[in-house]
Amino acid sequence: MTHPPIKRAEILTVGTELLLGETIDTNGAWLAAWLAEHGVDVLRSVRVGDNLTRMVEAIEVGLERSDLVVTTGGLGPTDDDMTREAIAAVVGETPEVDPALEGALVAWFEATGRTMPEQNRKQAWRVPSATILANPNGTAPGWLVRFERGGVPKAVAALPGPPRELKPMVHDELAAHLTFPTSHLWKRTFKVGQLGESTVAEMLGDLTQQANPSVATYAKADGVHVRVAAKGATEADAAALGEPAALQVEGILGDDVWGRDEDTLAGVVLAALKRRGMTLAVVDQGTGGRLLTMLHDADPAGETFKGGVVGLRDDAWRASDLVSDGPREPNHDASTWARARFAADAALVVGDVRPVDSETGPLVATVQVATQGETNEETVRLPKRKPEWVRSRVTVQTLDLLRRRLR
């Protein structure tokens, strides 16, 4: 049977733990990106607790607006896993144990040397209109339920919550049963380190008012992201719309752009050092080790990032002769010490973050960027915010200072 393309979809992530803040909804973001890449407009992404009445209501409301509602979570074996019951109520069908699914579940438990608990039998349920989505990575099969409302085709997909089960099921099972629009999405993301979101938006001006291609700004942990996206009948059409806008954005932002798409700031900096045959060491007082962690994550083998030290107490820093007798500021020998200690060509030295005039005033941190035969000192200035935000921003601006110096 041929089904019409899915043009509009909504996402429903299930679990009371999502509403209590105990679990972050990464599934909703991943599904939204996957649907968008297939030309589907995602109208809503909603979280709902383990409550049958509210789940039924959320699915019903989603179906009024969209062709497809995708649920994730609530397919476990316990009483508070009610996604199957909610979908059955929406389509007016009674779930029953499917013998083939039941046999597969029993075999799965036997293969692990266990007897299947009786409560797991509900994971073998299906309703007559459900197509089963196989789950080789867990005990919860998914459903794709198709029906009509007022003569209009509708569908509900039920997917498991664990990402290691959900993502393969989407790629290997769900995608094969859906028809997508013929339109294609082209997108490019530019990443900016030193500027705030409002400043970037002001620089872009009327570009952010366009519909297709669209230009949007987002404040992120590693700076500001500017996403350019375009839709077209073919990949070539979408690219033809998006690329000129992307060139405009890149021209406006210029050297403030530190990377694109999947780039990480630490990765970009280390790649620039590697191209020059240089290695890096770090002395860190201002980020509490965050800077070293980002660099290590980008270069776990230590080919370019040779290592570093983190100092949090005055006496520890003075014992190593890395600070002066005054405020907690690394002296000018710190970068020389770091390069010698780790046999590195370049060094980053991040001083303590401190108020300028008073405990309530703006914050500053001194950053030394030392490359071959040259040490430059710059000041990072930040508003008074929570320590975690401040450490994150100092990390980003420090890495971006080195990137600029290398250019």
Q: What's the pLDDT at 254? A: 94
The reported pTM is 0.69
Q: Which CATH class is domain 184-260?
A: alpha beta
Q: What's the pLDDT at 327? A: 43
Q: What's the pLDDT at 184? A: 82
How many angstroms separate the Cα of 360 from the Cα of each of 270, 293, 312, 356, 382?
36, 29, 21, 9, 12
Q: What's the pLDDT at 326? A: 44
Fold of the domain spanning 8-177? Molybdenum Cofactor Biosythetic Enzyme; Chain A (3.40.980)
Q: What's the pLDDT at 296? A: 95
Domains of the chain, by residue range, sit at 8-177, 184-260, 265-406
Q: What's the pLDDT at 331? A: 55
Q: Can you list the residues of the chain whose pLDDT is less than 50?
A: 323-328
CATH of domain 265-406: 3.90.950.20
Could you give the angle at the alpha carbon of 69 between the alpha carbons of 67 and 71, nearest 5°?
165
Q: Which two tokens stand for residue 8?
A: 């509009």
Q: What's the pLDDT at 330? A: 56
